[in-house]
Amino acid sequence: MNTSNPVFSESALEQITDIQGERMTQQGTLNKSFIMLGLVFAGAAWTWFQMSTNPNAALVMGGLGFFGGLILSFVIVFKKTWSAFLAPVYAILEGLLIGVLSAHYESRYPGLVIQAVGLTFVTFFVMLISYRLGWIRATQMFRSVLIAATLALFTFYLIALVAQFAFDFPMPLIHDKGILGIGFSVFATGLAAFNLILDFDFVEKGPAYGLPKYMEWYAAFGLTVTLVWLYIELLRLLSKFRK
């Protein structure tokens, strides 16, 4: 379980396993992952319908979902013991955001949302099968490269966010419909897909490592983060092809 990520370093996990009580199981993680996805869908359904009846309220809730989810994700990462309480709240917030984004893209490109949802689950199962059959393994090199690339992309998105809100300057590549823009979205989508391998590896090895019960919520939270990210990247990529 040792990685270059300090959050999942061996010393950090050894401190977690010192806690006494029930231990993490794969079935427990699976159950909590279904709960998390159900909450995401519930939040998304609410803002999706609000976009047609009360768009101003939906946009406010979508903004709350974005910023609230972003802040809450950092809290959960550094306060794993709070996962059982905060992870479901995070799922609802992400659902609020997803509903607004989905309704926006669907209004511009009818049929896009069902395509993105379908591709998200197809990608999930393809990566799961690849992991279970040993075609893709979470080696130390794989982890290091993937985590570095993910952090670099996350930093780029933060810079783009600041540039958009503070200077009204849209960053290139993110919304560019040209070859470079499509290539960027393909890269980001692939990065999100390969992060599923790290999630699967954590769910598989966490119980063997003897992690406490609340880490089931933390693992479900990590899987939800990746799936939401993958879905958003697929929405953006498919919309560029439509353009």
For residue 137, count CB atoms less than 10 angstroms from its CB and return exposed for 0-12, middle for 13-18, buried for 19 or more. Answer: exposed
Supply the pTM of this predicted model. 0.87
Please tell me the predicted confidence (pLDDT) of residue 177.
79
Please tell me the predicted confidence (pLDDT) of residue 52.
86
φ, ψ at 212 (rounded to 5°): -70, 170
Please tell me the predicted confidence (pLDDT) of residue 169.
67
pLDDT, block means (10 residues), the chain with 243 residues: 44 51 88 95 94 89 92 92 94 95 92 94 94 89 90 87 73 76 90 94 88 92 95 93 80
- Nearest Cα neighbor of 30 from 226, 200, 210, 230 is 200
The helix/strand/coil state of 168 is coil
Please tell me the predicted confidence (pLDDT) of residue 225.
94
Please tell me the predicted confidence (pLDDT) of residue 15.
46
Residue 53: Cβ within 10 Å count? 8
Cα distance between residue 205 and residue 222, in whole Å: 14
Please tell me the predicted confidence (pLDDT) of residue 38.
95
